[in-house]
Structure formats: C-alpha cells, structure tokens
Structure 1
Amino acid sequence: MKFDNLRVVVTGASRHFGRGLAVGFAHLGAEVYVSARTLAAAEQTRADVVGAARDRIHAFGCDLSRAGEIRNFARQVLERTDRVDLLVNNGARWLDGTALDDASDEQIMETIESTAGGTVLMVKHFLPLLRSSNRPDIVNMVSVCGTAGEDNSRAHEAFYAAKSAQAGFADILSRRLGPSGVRVFSLYPPDFSTSDPKFSEWEGTPRDPDNKLTTQALFECIVYAVEQPRDFFIRSFHFEPR
C-alpha cells in the first residue's frame, strides 16, 4: 500500500475533514493516531472504518485548549510507537458571527487557545517523535482566514485572530525546522464541501470548475506533498474561492 507503515497523527478527527483524513490514510496503509475532544468521538471515527483499515486507527481524547491533555496525548502515542512521520494539525474550534460581541468571553478564549495554542503545543510535544522519523512532515490546516486581507468568511473575529496566529507560527516553524529535515506544509482553503467518507456524498460530490473545493481535493494535496522526495518542498497551498 502507498503509505504502508507510515505513522500519522491527526487532530480534530471526529467529523468532516478530520475524519476524512483518518479514514483516507488508514486505507492507504498508514497507522493513524486520531484525537477528538472526547475519546468517544475519536472511537466513533475508528468504528466508521471498514475492513482491515480499522485496526490501523488508534483513538484518543484530547481537548486542544488544555495543555495537560496535549501532553497526555503525546505520552500515549509514545507508548505505542517510536516515531511519528506526519503530524496533521487539523483541530480547531470554529466560531461564527459577524460582530465581536456575538460570542462569549469563554468561546473566544477557547477558539484562540485550541487553534493557535493547541497547534504550538502539539508541535512542541510531538517534535521528539517526529525527529525520530526519517521522513518527518507537519501539515497545518490553516484557512483562508489566516491570509492577510481576507474578509469574506462568516467566521467570528476571534477565529480570524486564531488562524492568523496559526499562520504566523507555521511560517516561522517552516524556516526554523527546514534545515533539520522537518518539512512544514500549510493549507489555506476557503469554505469547502465537507463531504464525509462515512456517507454516500463522499464519492458523489461534484468536482467541476464551478463547484466548491472538496474534502477529497484537500486530502489529495496532502498526499501529494508527503509523497514527494525530501528535496521537494511546498510551504503552502492557497486556493481560489468559488
């Protein structure tokens, strides 16, 4: 299989794109360590996988706004494997609303902590396992909201702030880890179709030029980047909105 024995960590894997990544990599032969805010949600992703790929998914609970849970997640993965080849920072707290006072203080802080702080701490605590790999990659699912000048999303200002912080971290991380052989890729998609591999629309989602960007297309971008030789490096993928 294409990614036989690749060790992959995916955060925010309870639904939509995160679950698509987990299922996709497991079917390509990877061992996938998935987290969701609760263990039950992560276990449900594992239960949704059909066939032998189910045994290649390992579920963990991890609230990305809580530093202790991130540290515990890393310790638990270390108990199962001596390396991580790919870390996908997908988890983030979505917050919508077009007025700053639409959200509570607690929602605002959780959005920033889980998205920006969670990404920083995930990299910090999984970096030793990544450095044990001979092909270490980090993928950050940022968002068009992390792009300077973007204002077309219905996301709350706190989500924009969190994604901008995540983008800044990804940029400096790429520059500083690159010389040591750790590649850092970031994706900046606009709103995209959230077809789910659990349901029939995963195969039937239109992929014509006039349609929204698809979950499948984003997964294929990640697969493409990870497959390339180590002298091949793409720092970011930016997408035209539809």
Structure 2
Amino acid sequence: MSGVSLPPADLPGSGRTAVVTGASSGIGAATAERLAAEGFHVVLGARRLDRLTELADRIGGRALPLDVTDPTSVDAFVAALDRVDVLVNNAGGAFDAKPVAEADVDSWQRSFEVNVVGAVRLTKALLPALRASGAGDVLFVGSTAGMISYEGGASYTAAKHGVHTLAETLRLELCGEPIRVIEIAPGMVRTDEFALNRTGSAEAAEAVYRGVREPLVAADVADCIAWTLTRPHHVNVDLLVVRPRAQAAQHKVHRE
C-alpha cells in the first residue's frame, strides 16, 4: 500500500495487513496503534475521516472511510484493499439503557446494525482475501454482555450475544480452512465515548465508573488483541474474557 514503509522482518506482524473497524477512537484506535507497533500494515476504517487520518499519519497506517451499516460504503472500502490478513471487527457500541417495557426500537435496530449486521457484512466481503492470505484472522470485539443479561441493557446484550454466536458459528463453518476466528470479550472498559453514547450525558457516563479503582482502558484490550493475533497461526484463542480486577462479574463491581 502506498506511503507505508515495510516493518523490520523480525516483528510479529511483518508483511501482514490488518483492517481495524471503528478505529477513530477507543478500543479501535488503541488496537490500530498497537498493531502498527507490532509491525502490521494497518488499514483504519471509520466514519470520522478527520480523526482517522490523523491517527493513520501518526502510526504509518492507511485511513479509509467506512460505515459498516452502509453496503455501498463497505463495497468501496473493500475495493480499495490490495491484501487482507487480519480483520478486527471492532465497530460497535451501546445506544440506550432502557428496560424492555420502554424499549427504543430505533436504538435496538441501530445496535444490531452496527454490532452484528455490520460485522457480518464486512466479514463476508473480506473472507475471499483472508482465505487467499493463507493465514487469515477474523477477530470480533465482543463483550461480557454477550454472555450474561442484566436489567436496562437488553438492546446491547442482545446484540453482543449475536456477536458471540456469530464468532462461534463462523469458527465451525471455517474449520479446516487457514483462518482463525477469535473473540475478545471485555468487561468494564473506560473510554471517552462508550458510556457517553449510551447514557446521553457526561454526568451519567461518569457514574458508570464512579468509585471503580482502575477500570480497564482501551490499551488494555488492544494488548489482548495483539497477543492473540501474534500467536503461532496453529494456535486459535477462541475466546478471551478480560475484566478489571474490581469487576468479578457483570453484576459484581467493587466501588470505593
């Protein structure tokens, strides 16, 4: 890809191209930065091209506009790629915290479009290139919300349960092919936008983390992602659950 210099041959990602979606902020941005440091050629995709371009310039990556909910955008993104060895399906988010009785159906639809359908759309489009690489990786950034339900979280937990079963099913369907399917399921991660987008106010977002000593940050999750992708290719980390020490379970959080 033009403008990207080759990394030293002894780095784990040398010669491999990694696509990271939702790369303009949070876990996606941290993952793009970490994979670039590991020697991958990183292609960053997101809607906010100004933020994306700034990060790509800093890490020596390539920024391309991408809206995973728009088939035309996905088609244009895929057409611009010469090679893909790794796909990090990170684009996602939570958009409300209402009980089912007060469900905002638009938020439900948005949650499924971004978290589930978008991941399906891009995975389907890039599978031929991942097969052709001879050692492809599809990584889904899921959530512990994809394994347990809780009040006020139905639109998000339902979507992340969808991501979890998507990863499990794809792994079964690709068994015997040279493609690993990996899922990273973080618990509480403090980023600039996740809780704010979900609650709609800075005060409510701050309350999510209040009193929690050392919640995870985006770089912690990026570290886990990079570790799974740099194992020998016969090693498939099916599912990696990662929480802060202060969170023993989805409903059990120690607050000081």
The gaps in structure 2 that reach 5 residues or longer are 1-7, 194-212, 248-256
Provide the residue aligned with 1:44 in structure 2.
Answer: 54
After TM superposition, list the pairs within 5 Å mapping 1:66-77 onto structure 2. 66-77=70-81
After TM superposition, list the pairs within 5 Å mapping 1:219-234 onto structure 2. 219-234=222-237
Provide the residue aligned with 2:131 in structure 1.
Answer: 131
Aligned-residue identity in percent: 25
Provide the residue aligned with 1:236 in structure 2.
Answer: 239
Bigger Cα displacement from structure 2, 102-111 vs 213-222: 102-111
Q: Does 1:32 align with 2:42?
A: yes
Equivalent residue letter for 2:188: D
Provide the residue aligned with 2:172 in structure 1.
Answer: 175
**Matched-pair contact (CA < 8 Å) for 2:88–2:140:** yes
Whichever of the two has the greater Rg, that structure is 2
Provide the residue aligned with 1:151 in structure 2.
Answer: 150
After TM superposition, list the pairs within 5 Å mapping 1:14-29 onto structure 2. 14-29=24-39
**Matched-pair contact (CA < 8 Å) for 2:136–2:179:** yes
Closer, same or farther in 2 for the Cα pair 1:107/1:136, shift >3 Å? same
Q: Deviations over 1:157-176 (max 9, x none)?
A: 21112111111111010111
After TM superposition, give the deviation of residue 103 of structure 1 in Å.
Answer: 6.3
Aligned length: 216
Q: Distance in 1 between matches of 2:144 and 2:14?
A: 32
Provide the residue aligned with 2:201 in structure 1.
Answer: none
Provide the residue aligned with 1:207 in structure 2.
Answer: none
Equivalent residue letter for 2:165: G
Closer, same or farther in 2 for the Cα pair 1:29/1:180, shift >3 Å? same
After TM superposition, give the deviation of residue 228 of structure 1 in Å.
Answer: 1.7
**Equivalent position SS for 2:92:** coil
**Equivalent position SS for 2:88:** strand
Q: Distance in 1 between matches of 2:66 and 2:103?
A: 23
The gaps in structure 1 that reach 5 residues or longer are 197-209
Higher strand share: 2
**Equivalent position SS for 1:183:** strand
Closer, same or farther in 2 for the Cα pair 1:232/1:59, shift >3 Å? same
Provide the residue aligned with 2:202 in structure 1.
Answer: none
Closer, same or farther in 2 for the Cα pair 1:169/1:18, shift >3 Å? same
Provide the residue aligned with 2:188 in structure 1.
Answer: 191
Closer, same or farther in 2 for the Cα pair 1:101/1:23, shift >3 Å? farther
Provide the residue aligned with 2:93 in structure 1.
Answer: 93
**Matched-pair contact (CA < 8 Å) for 2:17–2:84:** yes
**Matched-pair contact (CA < 8 Å) for 1:192–1:213:** yes
State the TM-score, normalized to the length of structure 2. 0.77
